[in-house]
Amino acid sequence: MKAKKTWLWEFSKRIVVSVTIIFIAVFLFSCILLCFYPDSTALQSVIDNISDVFKVTVVSYALKAGFENVTKIRKYDKEDDAWNG
């Protein structure tokens, strides 16, 4: 069970890091192209779309981490109560 949790945690962390790298790369590439083609609404929409994906990924990861922390705190509180009698 612990191996599955560790794999899932690492997987979600990999997703966030991958999306962050892609976001930065696309953003920089788009900014460079916008210097040469300032009226490109297609590049502006690409930046908007990748920003939305980045926002959803980060918020989802934060919610997942918060939920896991609440679960861990409850688990340790129950163990502490059982230990103290």
68 CB neighbour count, 10 Å cutoff: 14
pLDDT at residue 16 in the model: 87
Q: Which domain holds residue 44?
A: 2-84
CA distances from 48 to 30, 54, 64 (A): 11, 10, 24
Per the CB < 8 A criterion, the answer to whether 50 and 27 are in contact is: yes
pLDDT of residue 25: 94
Q: How many CB atoms lie within 10 A of CB 26?
A: 18
The half-sphere exposure of 77 on its side-chain side, counting CA atoms within 13 A, is: 6
Mean pLDDT of 53-73: 87
Residue 4 has pLDDT above 70, yes or no: no
Residue 66 has pLDDT above 70, yes or no: yes
Q: What is the pTM of this model?
A: 0.65
The letter for the amino acid at 39 is D
Q: What is the pLDDT of residues 5-61, one digit of tens each?
A: 666 667 888 888 888 999 999 989 888 888 888 877 888 788 888 889 999 998 988
Looking at the structure of the chain, the number of domains it has is: 1
